[in-house]
Amino acid sequence: MASAVARPLSFWRGIFYLLLGTGLVLTVIRFTQGLGAVTNLSDRYPWGLWIGFDLLCGVGLAAGGFVITAAVYIFHIERLRPIARPALLTAFLGYLLVMVALMFDLGRPWNIWHPMVMWNPTSVMFEVAWCVMLYSTVLALEFSGMVFEKFRWKRAAKVQKILTIPLVILGVMLSTLHQSSLGTMYLIVPGKLHALWYSPMLPILFFVSAVSVGLAMVIVESKLSSRAFGRGLEMPILTEVGRVLVGALGLYGFMRIFDLFNRGMLGEAFTFSYESSMFLVEFGLGVILPMVILASSRRRASEKWLYAGSLFAVMGFVVNRMNVSMTGFEGAQGGHYIPSWAEVMITLMLVAVGFAAFSWIVNNFPVYPEEAKEPEVATREPAGVPEAETTAPWERVLIER
Amino acid sequence: MEAAQQRAILFDLTRCSGCGKCVEACMQKQGFEGDPSKVKDMSATAYCSLNTVSNPEDSDDEYTYRDLCRHCVEPSCVSVCPVGALDKTELGPVVYDADKCMGCRYCMTACPFNVPRYEWDSPVPTVRKCDMCFDLQSKGEDTACATACSYGATICGTREELLEEARSRIEEDPDDYYPHIYGEHEVGGTSVLFLSPFPVEELGFDPKLGTDPMPVYTWRVLEKIPGVAITAGATMCALWWLTNRRNAVRDHEAREKIQAKAAKAAKKNGSNHEENGHG
């Protein structure tokens, strides 16, 4: 099968090496000449694409990991189990890439470990640093199950299985904290961030939008990997994820509008100024449109529509985070920040490395369930006695009692 | 030390001649190259700058003002630094320790006055900003800029002394001053105070900022974190147990149903068998 897919992939392989090559050259320049040599960052715009996209979007788009693992292991929604591992892998790689991106963005990346020993609890960044560190560890431990399974390390796999529930709970706690804290980070700039984005509700808005984009990413990621690996799509599962996505987007949209109304800023949204237009793009494209598309159960059941709706939700999320981190500052800071081509190239290199790593891991580790060709089997609610394979021993004790 | 006793700077727009001696002295003290008269904005190699502002009622009536770190009483930069590289010293100046810094630049984003500057062209960059001549002041000397000023436009002292001085200047010449000491209450108070003949937004004291110290905005949320974490964790544990129990009960009932059915079928089969046996 590998040889059959090698040909269509060679185009993407070419793109990959191109991005990798250019990115590596720029990396050398970045670390020998300083940030100014490759970025358009300045004293007025100390944060740019690498914070707005690589960090804020990277962490948000990886939210599918904690959302799906919570659904499967905490809420015991067994039929979602087939997509738990891919979602976990996406999250794990997402966080690894965020950390790599930070190595580029930090002026003194060799000091990245300092928050571990130099504490400052009043700093939101300090809290985010700890949460990201701990959650990445949690993700690594959750992912280790696949490694143990692959190499048939039975004892390690058993220990890992026992740890699953505590790990998932810890993961949900840490994710709740740092997904919202990325919004809290911006609460310190009431004078700089435009009122369409600055809100005391930023932490909650960041959290709810992360949950919805996490769901959307699960659908997008499934679609992309079904294309890349020639797998069937677990449509009944994804349709259901799409249904929850509509609810999450609805909640987020309501909160966003309620917040604007509450602060008397709803009129501001329709002045068609630069900021207002960017808000309308973010909200119309990323909240209203996907909701309209996915509101119909017929369209949710269609592969194409489901993918389109989710893709719009993801794009709207990205625009939102870019608006909070860049657009929203331009009024107060003056001028514009437009990322340099080198910033874009390094970001694309990281994304490409992420795709390559994903595909390598899928090809080498048991990420997808075996019987992907028959999704009906995978989605069926396990009736009667639960499969011993998927249940931790201590869970079995509880169930069998 | 109480904020009142901390070292501070008072800058009086009405007394400034725009001679630029303060900028020159500052650059000399820091060992920065370049032409002090050309400094229009703070940079990594100029910790203070001179800019002009005109009277909103008469555009020909121009004044010079200084831009420099305000050394806030409760500084945003100090509160946001994840590694504590910035410190509000007991003495008053806000100082920076490059050895701790990891270069996240949150201080630059958070500063309401856009003060910190960065060495964008260095592979080992540092944050650059005025340290209110911490070394000189530790020895009891005035800042380089205050020493250089011969007009009494920039003076140095404790925050309390300078507030008193500012008040008496306003009182003595009420016609020359707008009756407001910029920095007395803004963002919780700053240690660089301004006197002006008219209201000036250029000083960066945006009325939107209010008088709450900026760190309050994030602390209001941060202080809730232990509660949120515990609630999230407890909710997850409870939900895990509840859904697990629900599924167990459902499975148990399903199994009982199957068993009951099987028993019934077995009984029926058994009686059939018996009947057959008799036949």
Give pLDDT tens digits for A303-334: 999 999 999 999 999 999 999 999 999 999 99
In A221-260, the residues whose Cβ lies within 8 Å of chain B are none
Domain co-membership, B181 together with B264:
no
In B229-248, the residues whose Cβ lies within 8 Å of chain A are 229, 232-233, 236-237, 239-240, 243-248
Is A115 touching B (CB cutoff 8 A)?
Answer: yes
pLDDT band per the 50, 70, 90 thresholds, residue A384: very low
Mean pLDDT in residue range A270-291? 96
Task: Tell me whether residue A288 is in a domain.
Answer: yes
Partner residue opposite B125 with nearest CB, options A35, A76, A112: A35
Nearest CA in chain B to A78: B247
Nearest CA in chain A to B108: A46
Given phi > 0 = left and psi -120 to 50 = alpha, else beta, which region is A34? left
Task: Tell me whether residue A387 is in a domain.
Answer: no
d(CA A287, CA A253): 6
Partner residue opposite A126 with nearest CB, options B82, B215, B239: B82
Q: Which two tokens stand for residue B254?
A: 């399903």
Question: Which residues span the domain enclosing A321?
Answer: 11-368
The Cα-based distances of B180 to A42, A347, B210 in angstroms read: 33, 48, 14
| Interchain contact, A395 vs B244, CB within 8 Å | yes
In this predicted model, what pLDDT tens digit does every residue of B205-236 receive, in sequence order? Answer: 777 788 999 999 999 999 999 999 999 999 99
φ and ψ at B193, to 5 degrees? -105, 150
Domain co-membership, B135 together with B13:
yes
Model ipTM value = 0.89
What was the pLDDT predicted at A370? 66
d(CA B223, CA B225): 6
Mean pLDDT in residue range B179-189? 94
CB B96 within 8 A of CB B129: yes
Name the CA dihedral angle for B99, B103, B109, B114, rounded to a multiple of 10 degrees. Answer: 60
Domain co-membership, B263 together with B154:
no
Min Cα separation B241/chain A (Å): 8
CB A276 within 8 A of CB A270: yes
pLDDT band per the 50, 70, 90 thresholds, residue A385: very low
Domain co-membership, B145 together with B265:
no
Task: Tell me whether residue A238 is in a domain.
Answer: yes
| Interchain contact, A108 vs B103, CB within 8 Å | yes
Q: Which two tokens stand for residue A366?
A: 């048991």
Is B178 touching A (CB cutoff 8 A)?
Answer: no
What was the pLDDT predicted at A391? 43
pLDDT band per the 50, 70, 90 thresholds, residue B1: low
Domain co-membership, B235 together with B179:
no
Domain co-membership, B182 together with B252:
no
Mean pLDDT in residue range A24-35? 97
Mean pLDDT in residue range A58-82? 93
In this model, does residue A124 exceed pLDDT 60?
yes
CB A34 within 8 A of CB B123: yes
In sequence order, the β-bridge partners of residue B192 are B9
Q: Which residues of A touch B254 (CB under 8 A)?
A: 383-384
Nearest to A390 by CA among A151, A216, A164: A164
What was the pLDDT predicted at A5? 47
Residue A349 CA neighbour count, 13 Å, CB half: 21
CB B143 within 8 A of CB B136: yes
Q: What is the CATH number of the domain that holds B111?
A: 3.30.70.20
In this model, does residue A118 exceed pLDDT 90?
yes
To test the contact with chain B by mutation, choose from A98, A120, A178, A207 the residue with the greatest count of B C-beta atoms within 10 A, namely: A120
In this predicted model, what pLDDT tens digit does every residue of A153-163 receive, in sequence order? Answer: 999 999 999 99
| Interchain contact, B83 vs A43, CB within 8 Å | no
Partner residue opposite A114 with nearest CB, options B102, B112, B126: B102
What was the pLDDT predicted at A217? 95
Mean pLDDT in residue range A182-200? 96
Domain co-membership, B145 together with B254:
no
| Interchain contact, B239 vs A398, CB within 8 Å | no
Nearest to B81 by CA among A108, A179, A115, A181: A115
What was the pLDDT predicted at A383? 42
Task: Tell me whether residue A399 is in a domain.
Answer: no
Lowest-confidence range among A49-53, A58-62, B236-240, B265-269?
A: B265-269
Mean pLDDT in residue range A341-357? 96
CB B134 within 8 A of CB B9: no
Q: Which residues of B touch A126 (CB under 8 A)?
A: 82-83
- For residue B150, what is the DSSP state? S
Tell me which of A230 and A275 has the higher pLDDT.
A275
Please state, rounded to an integer, the average pLDDT across all residues of chain B.
92
| Interchain contact, B254 vs A111, CB within 8 Å | no
pLDDT band per the 50, 70, 90 thresholds, residue B274: low
In this model, does residue A376 exceed pLDDT 60?
no
To test the contact with chain A by mutation, choose from B104, B205, B239 the residue with the greatest count of A C-beta atoms within 10 A, namely: B104
Domain co-membership, B279 together with B147:
no
Distant-in-sequence, close-in-space partners of A374: CB < 8 Å, separation ≥ 6: A232
Partner residue opposite A46 with nearest CB, options B105, B123, B244: B105
In B112-131, the residues whose Cβ lies within 8 Å of chain A are 112, 114, 116-126
Domain co-membership, B259 together with B206:
no
What was the pLDDT predicted at B146? 97
Domain co-membership, B145 together with B262:
no
Task: Tell me whether residue A386 is in a domain.
Answer: no
Question: Which residues span the domain enclosing B276?
Answer: 224-279
Encoded amino acid at B220, one letter: R
In A22-81, the residues whose Cβ lies within 8 Å of chain B are 31-37, 39, 41-44, 46-47, 70, 73-76, 78
In sequence order, the β-bridge partners of residue B194 are B11, B182
Task: Answer with the one of B215, B242, B268 that is the final residue of a domain.
Answer: B215
Number of domains chain A contains: 1
In this model, does residue B38 exceed pLDDT 80?
yes
Q: Which residues of B touch A39 (CB under 8 A)?
A: 120
Domain co-membership, B260 together with B133:
no
Domain co-membership, B205 together with B228:
no
Task: Tell me whether residue A167 is in a domain.
Answer: yes
CB B129 within 8 A of CB B116: yes
Number of domains chain B contains: 2
Q: What is the CATH number of the domain that holds A361?
A: 1.20.1630.10
Nearest CA in chain B to A118: B83
Is A264 touching B (CB cutoff 8 A)?
Answer: no
Task: Tell me whether residue A133 is in a domain.
Answer: yes
Task: Tell me whether residue A5 is in a domain.
Answer: no
Lowest-confidence range among A95-99, A132-136, B61-65?
A: B61-65
Distant-in-sequence, close-in-space partners of A182: CB < 8 Å, separation ≥ 6: A55, A56, A59, A60, A128, A206
Task: Answer with the one of B215, B241, B257 that is the final residue of a domain.
Answer: B215
CB A20 within 8 A of CB A353: yes
| Interchain contact, B119 vs A123, CB within 8 Å | no
What was the pLDDT predicted at A123? 96
Encoded amino acid at A373, one letter: K
d(CA A370, CA A48): 42
| Interchain contact, A173 vs B124, CB within 8 Å | no
